[in-house]
Amino acid sequence: MAKKQPDAVKYKGYVPAEGAKIDRVKATVDPKEFHKRYIAKRQPVIIEGLIQDEDFKAAKWTDLGYLKETAGSASVKIEPIDPDVKTFGTAAEKLKMPFSEFIDKLTSTPDKYYLTTQYDEDGEPSVLPPPMDHLATDFPLHPKITGNLVLQQTNLWIGNSSEGTSSGLHHDFHDNIYCLLRGKKRFVLYPPSAHPSMYTYGELDTVHQNGLISYTNRPSRADGLTEREAAQEKVDALEERWHKLEEGADEEAIAAAEEAFEDAMGELAMLGDEDDEEDLELGDGGDDFEESESDGDWETLGSKAAKPNDVHEEESSDEEDGPTFGEFNGDDDHDSEEEEGLGFDIPEDEDPVSFSTIPVSYLHNHLDLPTISKAPKGNVKDFPLLKTANALVGHLEEGEMLYLPASWFHEVTSSSSKNGTVHMAFNYWFHPPDGSEFKHPYNDRSIWERKLRAVEQKAADIKARVAGKKRKKEKAKAKRKRKQERDAPLKDQKRAKLDGKKTKRNQA
């Protein structure tokens, strides 16, 4: 459980005043101006329009036929709705199926399936996981508006909800450019500095100056790397430099590079063995942006807003430990994975350190927002510190984007524009910048410039492979068309001959 640690909150970015609104900016904004006004200041903003790069063609994904034709063979894992609690984000086992089959299920059985974050075959995050690897030629890997941020992952989110679903209140660990292609979204946002008021599961280690939140189960630097990961990256970079110098530099430069490499190896050794660390790799794959993005919806919206008497305020008996959390009546040793008093289930294979224990119904009621969220089971105690934090509330329409800096808390209510249609979004996750310069957004330049080159090379290889497959497919399609055109006259002749014989038989 999180504890109140004011000294650990070092955030220096934007904090909304009471009654503030989310800024809006045109998608044609100059990238340097965008970085200065929003990325460097760690301020969310709604962007009016989609990615302006010429190779951004994701808007055509709203044609489900195109998605099936282009990426239908991709193998994806789909989250089914829990039949008992009627919600996503439970311990229900994900279903593996071709992407085309998912699209068919989505349109024939709405409100039952959801496409969330995908991983590679080893279960690791990937810059272009399926079905993004099949769609890689439809969007830029480095959109101009994001400047020199380093890409961590791209994702496609598709659901079909007529009534609406909620993500639950949580934060992610990467900067986000979120593109709404179809549907509607309402966002409730809180800054990272509000962490003491968010009642998270995780125990706070640090809220860094750039806003990135680090927990005690995996302490990290402001750029998201652990000290050991950073040391390993430094070793790799120095080793690469050393070997390059051996190709032609003087002996003195080679010796200096070798010495620096050996010093870095010593620093790495002092940090211990990675296998001895019990971390969740949140810096690589712990984001849950929208509909709890990596694990679907954490609470479906119910029929009414929570009433004030649904919440029972109790005084903490241990105030020096900071805020306590939502409690529920009954035996703590219940068998169900559902935490009564929270309103959503905890996946068995995930420790949701970045999720708030504040129920959606309570949050909406506190902010006087329209809601159909049901109050959770049990008698939940009050969350008094929530009243000390100022929220931003905004609406995203089709064809708009949201920039959300790392570790901004958010609750997202999502719905389809019309009954029977899907809601669809595409997003980029970027490693959080800990510097303020447009050209060099990361302080540890040697590490991040190398990582940028590696990401771009890997993504370029995938794009080239996808483009090659597409050309091969188009070539085969053209070959079939030529054959059909060539055979057409023969088929016409044969059909005419058969028709002639039939006519003669009828006359006879």
Lowest-confidence segment of 323-332, 357-366, 443-452, 454-463 by average pLDDT: 323-332
Range 111-137 average pLDDT? 83
Residue 79 pLDDT > 90: no
Assign 241 a pLDDT band (cuts: 50, 70, 90). confident
Between residues 435 and 325, the one the model is more confident about:
435
Q: What percent of the chain has pLDDT over 90?
A: 50
Range 1-26 average pLDDT? 86
Between residues 352 and 193, the one the model is more confident about:
193
Between residues 406 and 498, the one the model is more confident about:
406
Residue 70 pLDDT > 70: yes
Lowest-confidence segment of 37-41, 236-240, 283-287 by average pLDDT: 283-287
Lowest-confidence segment of 31-45, 121-135, 212-226 by average pLDDT: 121-135
Show the tokens assigned to 144: 């101009």
Tens of pLDDT along 321-380? 333 333 323 333 333 333 333 333 444 445 489 999 998 889 999 999 988 777 777 766
CATH homologous superfamily for the domain 6-226+279-443: Jelly Rolls (2.60.120.10)
Residue 443 pLDDT > 80: yes
Picking from 319, 450, 326, the residue whose alpha carbon sits closest to that of residue 386 is 326
Between residues 348 and 441, the one the model is more confident about:
441
Residue 301 pLDDT > 70: no
Range list of H helices, 372-444: none
Distance CA 352, CA 333 (A): 20
Range 275-299 average pLDDT? 44
- Average pLDDT of the residues of the chain: 80
Q: Which helix (H) or strand (E) segment is 430 a member of?
A: strand 423-430
Q: How far is CA 234 from the centre of its chain?
A: 27
Lowest-confidence segment of 41-45, 295-299, 362-366, 442-446 by average pLDDT: 295-299
Residue 28 pLDDT > 80: yes
**Cβ 425 vs Cβ 399: under 8 Å:** no
Report the pLDDT value the prediction gives residue 43, as an integer from 0 to 100.
Answer: 98
Torsion of Cα atoms, 18 then 408 then 294 then 302, to 10°: -10
Distance CA 257, CA 263 (A): 10
Report the pLDDT value the prediction gives residue 497, as an integer from 0 to 100.
Answer: 77
Q: What are phi and psi of 505, to 5 degrees?
A: -65, -40
Report the pLDDT value the prediction gives residue 463, as an integer from 0 to 100.
Answer: 76
Report the pLDDT value the prediction gives residue 247, as an integer from 0 to 100.
Answer: 79
Range 63-78 average pLDDT? 93
Bridge-based pairing state of the strands 184-190 and 95-98: unpaired
Q: CB under 8 Å to 11, separation ≥6 — which residues?
A: 42, 191, 192, 193, 207, 208, 209, 210, 211
Assign 475 a pLDDT band (cuts: 50, 70, 90). confident
Range 416-431 average pLDDT? 87
Between residues 490 and 265, the one the model is more confident about:
265
Range 130-144 average pLDDT? 92
The b/e string for 10-48 (b: 16+ C-beta within 10 A; e otherwise) is ebebbbbeeeeebbebeeebebeebbebbbbebbbbbbe
DSSP annotation of 169: S
Assign 173 a pLDDT band (cuts: 50, 70, 90). very high
Report the pLDDT value the prediction gives residue 313, as an integer from 0 to 100.
Answer: 35
Distance CA 384, CA 326 (A): 11
Report the pLDDT value the prediction gives residue 310, as an integer from 0 to 100.
Answer: 34
Predicted TM-score of the model (pTM): 0.79
Half-sphere exposure of 140 (CA within 13 A, CB side): 14
Residue 319 pLDDT > 60: no
